Amino acid sequence: MKKLYSGIAIMAISGLITNAKAQDVGAQIDALQNEILKMKEQMSKGSGDNKAYFKKGKGLSIKSSDGKYEFKIGGRMMYDLTQLVDYESGTHTMTQHETGNGFGAEFRRLRFDIKGKIGNGWAWVIQPDFAEGSANSKVRNVVIKDAFISKSIKGVGKFSFGNVKSGQGLYENTSSNNLIYMERPLHNEMMNFAQRMGIVYDTSGALGKQFHAKMGIFSGLESGLVQPIGDSGVAGNADNESEHYGASIAVHYHYKTDTPLVGGPLSTLFGYHFGYLNMSGSETYDTNSARANGVHTFVDKPIDIGNLTTADTHTFHGPQLSLIFNDALLLQTEYQIGKYTFDPEEVSSGVLSTRDDYNIYGGSIGISYAITGKYKHSGKKGAVGGLKCKRHCFVPKYQYEWIDANDFDDVGTGVGSRDGGGGAGQVHTMGFNHYFNSNVRAMLEYAYGEYDLDNARGTPSDISTLQARLHLKW
């Protein structure tokens, strides 16, 4: 019996010891969990390590844990193939580059998007393009597109200083990454300011996701990072374009609502833009021309108002509208009016005809349908936001565009290198886009253009082209 009692006592003592050890282990686990919670809290307050990550369509980012500092690099590559299918012309003749075997190839865009944040709303952007240059040149130049410093103020918007786009129309405002067609319409090619040195204000979502406004003042050359002071005798300033100055503004309103009419959501984006450029009445201005069917590898530009050596001011403006039905059917249209004014003294001296102003008119309408995938608008940017596609999305498309610059037919020979005549044209484009995913797509387009080349420019020309593009963005 004594042995039995002794065994029970030993077991009881052992149990007490084991229980004590278990309590110690549990306390240790609780302590470790508390330490982990403290570490997470410290990281959320910004005392943790930086984060590096890749986001689809946004590039590679290195970001501080508090979000105030960031370095980001993305980019886009567009490889184009072009074939001149048919060409019928009277007296107007395209260059040998087009009329030879009719085949062209190029990297349309080869850009890196490099940007960053440096705390308290300050940021910067540099966007070099390695595919710029003349189509008939074997050497391409590196051109800096965007290059600016910006300051964002909560509730106010963003101010940008440098080489940046100011207020533009719908097509110019939409990134080339999100364009439905390979090239912007002819009227946009002839009437836009692209990037110029200046100061730009953008609401940038400060007034809500529905309303967007962008305005700026600028001077000098397009995509020119250096603006010299002086006259035409200064090297690099042969056209006196450093004396140009201008301003532009664009406003857009976006709303999305469910409607029984389309059996789903209806997204609407409409707006208006206005641009003004002062050329001092004695400057050469030679950027207003458009390539046949928008084909970028074409050197010849059948729509061309020439080098305007006595132009005083240039303005352009127009409305735009974009509709997305049920996230699938995209309709977009834009209309533009451009005007050039000349010094009245040039009229009285006989250099011009009988007027001191000449106009350009143009417009476009495009329709496309996402069989798979979803279209979206960017209300805070006033632009089409592209197609969201997980895998293998298919989009058929059609666009009609027109341009009329025949108002320049009676401009005197003393104001243009093309001996008067601007020309007019209309283009039908049809094709489809195949999205492998949101970042990779193939584009195929057939275009038929009819051009009325009055005066010394030549008789009407009909041009048919076939284009293909492989487009990557990251």
Provide DSSP, 274-317: EEEEEEEEEEEE---EE-GGG-TT----SEE---EEEEEEEEEE
Is the pLDDT higher at 138 or at 211?
A: 211
- Evaluate if residue 224 carries a pLDDT over 60: yes
The residue ranges of every structural domain in the chain are 1-45, 75-473
298-342 pLDDT, tens digit per residue, is: 877 778 877 666 778 889 999 999 999 999 999 999 999 999 887
- Evaluate if residue 11 carries a pLDDT over 60: no
Q: How many Cβ atoms sit within 10 Å of the Cβ of residue 111?
A: 23
Please say whether the structural domain 75-473 has been given the CATH code 1.10.10.410: no
85-138 pLDDT, tens digit per residue, is: 888 765 455 554 455 567 888 999 999 999 999 989 999 999 999 987 655 555
Residue 4 confidence class, pLDDT cut points 50, 70, 90: very low
- Evaluate if residue 428 carries a pLDDT over 90: yes
Is the pLDDT higher at 43 or at 165?
A: 165
Q: How many helices (H) and strands (E) does the chain have?
A: 5, 22
Contact 216, 167 (CB under 8 A): yes
pLDDT at residue number 140: 67
- Evaluate if residue 350 carries a pLDDT over 80: no
Please give the backbone phi and psi of residue 163, each rounded to the nearest 5 degrees, phi first.
Answer: -90, 105
pLDDT at residue number 355: 66
Residue 408 confidence class, pLDDT cut points 50, 70, 90: confident
Mean pLDDT for all residues in the chain: 80
Which residues contact residue 456 at a Cβ distance below 8 angstroms, ignoring those fewer than 6 apart? 418, 419, 420, 421
For residues 248-268, average pLDDT: 86
Rounded CA separation 443/400 (Å): 17
Whole-number Cα distances in Å, 307 to 143, 245, 418: 23, 18, 7
Is the pLDDT higher at 422 or at 109?
A: 109
Rounded CA separation 412/346 (Å): 10
pLDDT at residue number 64: 85
pLDDT at residue number 289: 80
Name the percent of the chain lying above pLDDT 70: 70
pLDDT at residue number 369: 97
Contact 419, 443 (CB under 8 A): no
pTM: 0.81
Across 73-77, 207-211, 408-412, the highest mean pLDDT is recorded for 73-77
DSSP code of residue 44: I
Is the pLDDT higher at 283 or at 128?
A: 128
pLDDT at residue number 264: 81
pLDDT at residue number 138: 58
367-378 pLDDT, tens digit per residue, is: 999 999 999 998
Rounded CA separation 282/287 (Å): 16
Residue 416 confidence class, pLDDT cut points 50, 70, 90: very low
Contact 292, 298 (CB under 8 A): yes
Rounded CA separation 377/19 (Å): 65
Rounded CA separation 31/53 (Å): 32
Residue 150 confidence class, pLDDT cut points 50, 70, 90: very high
Please report, as a single letter, which amino acid is at residue 335: Y
pLDDT at residue number 352: 61
33-42 pLDDT, tens digit per residue, is: 676 666 555 5
Bridge partners (DSSP) of residue 259 are 264
Rounded CA separation 149/365 (Å): 35
Is the pLDDT higher at 293 or at 2?
A: 293
For residues 249-268, average pLDDT: 86
Whole-number Cα distances in Å, 330 to 147, 265, 397: 32, 12, 9
- Token pair 């204000």 is found at 201
186-204 pLDDT, tens digit per residue, is: 999 989 888 888 999 999 8
pLDDT at residue number 26: 64
